[in-house]
Amino acid sequence: MLNDVVLASDYGNEVYTSSNLRNVLKNWYNLNMSNLSYVVQGDFDNNNYEGYEVENLIDFESYLYDYVGTLSVREVELMSKDVKSNFLDTFNGVWLMNPSGFDKAYYIKEGKVLVGGLLETHNVRPVINIKINGLKGEGTLNNPYTFE
């Protein structure tokens, strides 16, 4: 996941694969990352978790394989469990990959997972997958991952 917010967008459509969020991410990727040999396709959880308590999400094993996406609501819940704050905290809100029903989608704001309308504008923090050749660090705040 990129450290910085690089875009702001609405979600746009309840189906991620045809959403404005995905189009914005793909355009960003094509302009900034498409020629980098270390970026590879990865699996992104794009399940619609409507009707499930966020704290009890299960893995439905439905994934989209792509070069760019966002974190899923399930990943955020796993990373945030029993933690007071983390690098995901933001005051403006950041879209997550998962829709919620036909007219909403998940986002994170100030450490909380929320559900917002598809036409709301929130920040976008792209997630890419990279080859691990030359990867150093522990992935912590004091020793983040870096690569050559």
pLDDT tens digits along 58-87: 555 567 899 999 998 888 887 777 666 666
Pull the structure tokens for residue 90: 């933001």
Strand order in the sheet with 39-40: 39-40, 127-130, 68-69
Q: What is the pTM of this model?
A: 0.81
3-state secondary structure of 34: coil
Section 48-59 average pLDDT: 63
Q: How confident is the model over 94-137, as pLDDT tens digits?
A: 999 988 888 999 999 887 889 999 999 999 999 998 887 777 88
145 alpha-carbon distance from chain centroid: 18
